[in-house]
């Protein structure tokens, strides 16, 4: 049995049929036959156990995978990579095979936390490359590192320039700008007052911001008045 086959066998042993049914309801676009049903805490423990081993290296070379759970494990192993160039190369290959929001949204590489100087350009390249989940991933990482942490006003411009029109990109854009309103209200507000966003993203941003517990009532009232 190869290393990749051993990983698959371990995932099958960790599968929970009840959780599989729950996951399938959350992701109607994912083929239920591809879902094993491994709970995320167990998957994260397995990824930490596997990282840095020959089996992990073999598994990362085995794309495409057959199951949703293998893709999630693959993403978690990429998150554990510490060398920036290695993480970028692994992500660029893997994002071609990401086909759902849940796998996309677990991607948060440790190699990016220090914000290497070349990271901003790499994220912008992913925003422009047209793959739906590459764009969504780049927006999420930009939000995490350049809006929620060390704010860079240029990040708002990058996001506003992203072509929308697909559901999972538009929803991430709304999440991005709602988060910006929470953390950087003054910088983010003009994107609504000047109607810089599509109608869907504009209104969904306001909805998410109004639902947030982190935005005070007076600002929520002002945001409600901006719906169109």
pLDDT of residue 28: 86
Res. 2: pLDDT tops 80? no
Categorize the per-residue pLDDT at 1 as very low, low, confident or very high, splitting at 50, 70 and 90. low
**List of long-range contacts for 152-158, beta carbons under 8 Å, 24+ apart:** 152/120, 153/184, 153/187, 154/120, 156/180, 156/184, 156/187, 156/188, 156/191, 158/123, 158/124, 158/127
Tell me: the pLDDT tens digits for 152-196? 999 999 999 999 889 999 999 999 999 999 999 999 999 999 999
Which residue has tokens 């309103």?
181
Query: What's the whole-model pTM score?
Result: 0.93
pLDDT of residue 4: 77
């Amino acid at each position: 049995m190869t290393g990749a086959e051993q990983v698959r066998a371990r995932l099958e042993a960790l599968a929970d049929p009840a959780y599989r049914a729950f996951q399938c309801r959350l992701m109607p676009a994912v083929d239920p036959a591809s879902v094993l049903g491994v709970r995320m805490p167990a998957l994260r423990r397995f990824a930490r156990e596997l990282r840095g081993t020959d089996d992990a290296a073999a598994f990362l070379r085995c794309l495409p995978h057959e199951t949703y759970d293998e893709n999630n494990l693959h993403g978690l192993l990429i998150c554990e990579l510490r060398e920036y160039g290695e993480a970028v190369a692994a992500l660029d290959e893997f994002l071609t095979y990401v086909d759902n929001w849940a796998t996309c949204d677990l991607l948060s590489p440790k190699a990016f936390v220090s914000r290497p100087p070349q990271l901003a350009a790499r994220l912008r390249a992913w925003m422009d490359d047209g793959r739906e989940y590459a764009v969504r991933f780049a927006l999420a990482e930009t939000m995490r590192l350049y809006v929620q942490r060390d704010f860079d006003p240029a990040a708002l411009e990058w996001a506003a320039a992203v072509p929308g029109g697909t559901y999972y990109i538009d929803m991430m854009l709304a999440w991005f700008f709602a988060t910006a309103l929470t953390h950087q209200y003054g910088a983010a507000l003009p994107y609504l007052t000047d109607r810089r966003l599509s109608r869907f993203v504009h209104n969904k941003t306001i909805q998410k911001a109004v639902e947030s517990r982190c935005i005070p009532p007076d600002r929520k009232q002002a945001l409600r008045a901006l719906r169109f």
